[in-house]
Structure 1
Amino acid sequence: MNTNIYKKYIAVFLICFITMVHLPQQIQAEEKLTINADAAILVEVDSGKILFKHNANKALGIASMTKMMTEYLVLEAVETGKVKWDQTYTVSDKVYALANAPGLSNVPLHADEQYTVKELYEAMVIKSANGASIALAEVVAGSEGEFVKMMNQKAKELELEHYQFVNSTGLSNYDMLGMHPEGTDVNAENLMSAKDTAALAYHLINDFPEVLETASLSTKDFRKGTNEELIMKNTNAMLPGRTFEYKGADGLKTGTTPFAGSTFTGTAKRNGVRYISVIMDSKDALDNPSSAERFIQTAELFDYGFHNFSNVEFTFDDVEKKAKHTIPVADGKEEKVEIKTKEHLSLRIKTENKSNAKLELTIDESKLNEDGELQAPIEEGEKIGELTVEDPKKYDYIIKPTDTEQKIDVYAAASVEKENWFVRSAKAIGDFFGSIF
């Protein structure tokens, strides 16, 4: 064989071998869903159902996703009246130093200048401004150290499991110019699991849905009409007009530090259905840290949810095909009564799983006699029982579900009067002799 050709074959073989050995093994836990990150999760908000998860219970760096807890506590303080939106704050030495530190995400805050809580809040949510976050911590708790205690206490109240809050911003403590919160270690980091990060986002948008009014803004003028005016561009690149624009995206929080990598908690809503996703330390196809991939992979998670699941409606026909849906009635002028529902029974499941859904009609036993008949009289519209449906696939939940099945009430479609004593007696006699002969 020609030596040059032989060398080419060897080179091709080595390239293929190196590619197979060194390229990252991406997660393909669901059909057409590929995620390359340290952890990820997708949650359906209405039910709290976890549709996809990878390494979801390991505590990892969260960077500025930390600010979701700061947002929660600020919104809670406003709701309780402890803090007002138009309340002013005078910049402290610590906030001035960190708000103007090179390399940190910020809006510049001037020494001894006064800013409203609303201005600081918008800067934190939209621009991920670290100085503004610390300023808000000082407003709510008096100092960032005291605020950190509140953060960890709130995490406990929300029943998070894998978390550690050491500052209000998500910065690494060692990047805080020696001004990390009192009571915390200089080398400490903010940590949460993907599941707990999603749970925090779940509570944030359910308890304070107004957060999305700000988080959904692609841009916002800071201190318009003053000499400090500047345009804040949202760090979320999936919002309208941004590089990775995604239909329905309206939040929630990015994060980037050398320790945590590129992280993102996203949320999107279409046709009344909302999802929350978390990507932690996203990487590209060559396993390199990638800021863009957190948005690309979030879009994959959202697509998986929106394209593979649908609201499927169920009726009595799904319990028993072509049945008349009647129940026998004892001692009534009619021998049976039709039953109906006042609304559709709907469950969001994988579309192809409809035929396997567990559907059950349950009649209230207190309304039945020993023979399984309803006892007259029956009033039209009287609740007779329940129609329930349960997803054939078992899922974990972001919060403890009160009920994993969907249900609707079943009613009597008409009234059935109780037959008079003479007729009931005659029927009883007839039934007696009928049983003999």
Structure 2
Amino acid sequence: MNLRFKAIIALIGTFLLSAGFATSVQASSVTDQPVIAAKAAIAVDARTGQILYQKNANQALPIASVSKLMTIYIVHQQIKQKKLAWDDQVTISPAIAKLSTASGLTNVPLTAGKSYSVRQLVNATLVASANAAALALGQKVAGTPVKFAKLMTQTAKQIGIKDAKFYNASGLTNKLTGGLALANVSGDAENELSASDVALLASKLMKTFPRVTEITKKTASTFYGTAITGHNQLLNDHQIAKGVVVDGLKTGTSDKAGACFVGSATRKHHRIITVVLGSRNKSATDPARFIQTAKLMRYVFTKQHPITLSKGSQIKGVDKATVPDGKQVDVQPVVKKTTWVWAPKNVSKQQVQGKYVHLNQKIAAPAKKGTAAGKTQLTYKQGLPKYLQTEDSEVQLVTNQSIKKANPFILLWRAILRLF
């Protein structure tokens, strides 16, 4: 075997070895993801909407009492618009009072003809997952179950949810709502959303009503002297990962939905939202959904980290923007407001760069510091991050300094030069 042939063999061997190494690295990054025992699951950054994990996240599935997040979102929107107030009184109808004591349903007892405040009913809805309380809130807002179901669907579209199915404010199957059941609708009809849409709803709720966690972090409360207990088994769990604090958000359980849970957790001021739909449900205290959620949270907080880009910082890969009539003809775009991107732990800040950069073609002078200069998406070598909504992926860019307009003689001279 001559030296030349040996060299060729060695080169081929090196190539195959490196290809095998690349494949093993890629496989490793995939197998690092946890196996979540549920029909669907997702984890997202609560503020940016970046998707940190997903499994079958776009299939619409029954969500049971997770539906109550939409009810609370609508109630809070009504309060923001001053159409409703926390201390407004809600008078209970006979149908809702009857439902509030129905066997097998999570509830607080409500008395027909008696009034309760919006605040009390919201608290009961979120802590005890009280079905009748949620239905009473829906009736207060829209007048009838039919109108509130339509409002839920309409609101879903407004926030970017396309394939929602809503039949009532509580998440019960249609037949279980008794005298409040919708006519000409199957008794088995149940509210449905995909895991990604639930995550979007939860993030919208937490952005507009951040104090919701002051309610959802409660393990117990009282309702007119009656003790009520929450269902979130992760609230006092300090074993998920170091520094992780769980403070919400909502459980949901039904025969069709299985056991569902929307989780909210923070670590070092960064909040994530997790959704687990259709996990095991052998009993009312089956911990399966919480075990899967803890696994998901642990994966995000131990395998990934948020890389922060402060307001005014420059992004690699973003070129200067043109200012044709400025004293200086270009300017460096920088980050408008502090943002971050989650990446695997082995990715450093220096590896983050801008992709799909769209700069304003011509910035007119004079221009103040902070003038809109364009937008970009943050990426890193291992891939382009995905987001719940396209607009969430965009980082707004602004000028890093003010620019004075060039004097007329300079502008004339530039115009002459452009002719040649």
Q: Give the TM-score range, shorter chain.
A: 0.7 to 0.9
- CA distance in 2: counterparts of 1:77 and 1:273, whole angstroms: 28
Residue correspondence of structure 1 range 213-232 to structure 2 within 5 A: 213-223=214-224, 229-232=225-228
Structure 1, 299-308 or 252-261: larger mean CA deviation: 299-308
Unaligned runs of 5+ in 1: 1-27, 224-228, 320-336, 368-377, 422-437
Assess, with a 3 A threshold, how the Cα gap between structure 1 residues 402 and 159 changes in structure 2: closer, same or farther.
Answer: closer
Match of 2:229 among 215, 230, 233: 233
Contact 2:95 2:178 in 1 (8 A): no
- Which residue does 1:33 correspond to in 2? 34
- Which residue does 2:342 correspond to in 1? 348
Contact 2:108 2:128 in 1 (8 A): yes
Offset from partner CA, 1:260-306 (integer Å, 9 cap, x none): 1000111112222111111001139xx99984121111112222222
How many pairs are equivalent?
Answer: 372
Shift in Å, 1:384: 12
Matched, 1:252 2:238: no
- Which residue does 2:23 correspond to in 1? none
Shift in Å, 1:162: 2.2
Residue correspondence of structure 1 range 389-404 to structure 2 within 5 A: 390-392=378-380, 393-401=383-391, 403-404=393-394
- CA distance in 1: counterparts of 2:379 and 2:47, whole angstroms: 15
- Which residue does 1:61 correspond to in 2? 62
Assess, with a 3 A threshold, how the Cα gap between structure 1 residues 348 and 411 changes in structure 2: closer, same or farther.
Answer: farther
Assess, with a 3 A threshold, how the Cα gap between structure 1 residues 114 and 410 changes in structure 2: closer, same or farther.
Answer: closer
Residue correspondence of structure 1 range 409-420 to structure 2 within 5 A: 409-411=399-401
Shift in Å, 1:216: 1.9
Contact 2:304 2:343 in 1 (8 A): yes
Shift in Å, 1:136: 1.0
Offset from partner CA, 1:396-423 (integer Å, 9 cap, x none): 32122254457575459xx9x99xx9xx
SS at match of 1:37: coil
Contact 2:75 2:141 in 1 (8 A): yes
- CA distance in 1: counterparts of 2:161 and 2:401, whole angstroms: 41
- Which residue does 1:107 correspond to in 2? 108
Shift in Å, 1:114: 2.1
Match of 1:294 among 289, 296, 318: 289
Shift in Å, 1:203: 1.2
Assess, with a 3 A threshold, how the Cα gap between structure 1 residues 357 and 132 changes in structure 2: closer, same or farther.
Answer: same
TM-score by length of 1: 0.71
- CA distance in 2: counterparts of 1:380 and 1:73, whole angstroms: 40
Shift in Å, 1:89: 2.3
- The amino acid across from 1:237 in the alignment is Q
- Which residue does 2:353 correspond to in 1? 358
Assess, with a 3 A threshold, how the Cα gap between structure 1 residues 304 and 87 changes in structure 2: closer, same or farther.
Answer: same
Contact 1:88 1:115 in 2 (8 A): yes
SS at match of 1:147: helix
Unaligned runs of 5+ in 2: 1-28, 318-329, 411-420
Contact 2:42 2:57 in 1 (8 A): yes
- The amino acid across from 2:343 in the alignment is I
- Which residue does 2:305 correspond to in 1? 310
SS at match of 1:250: strand
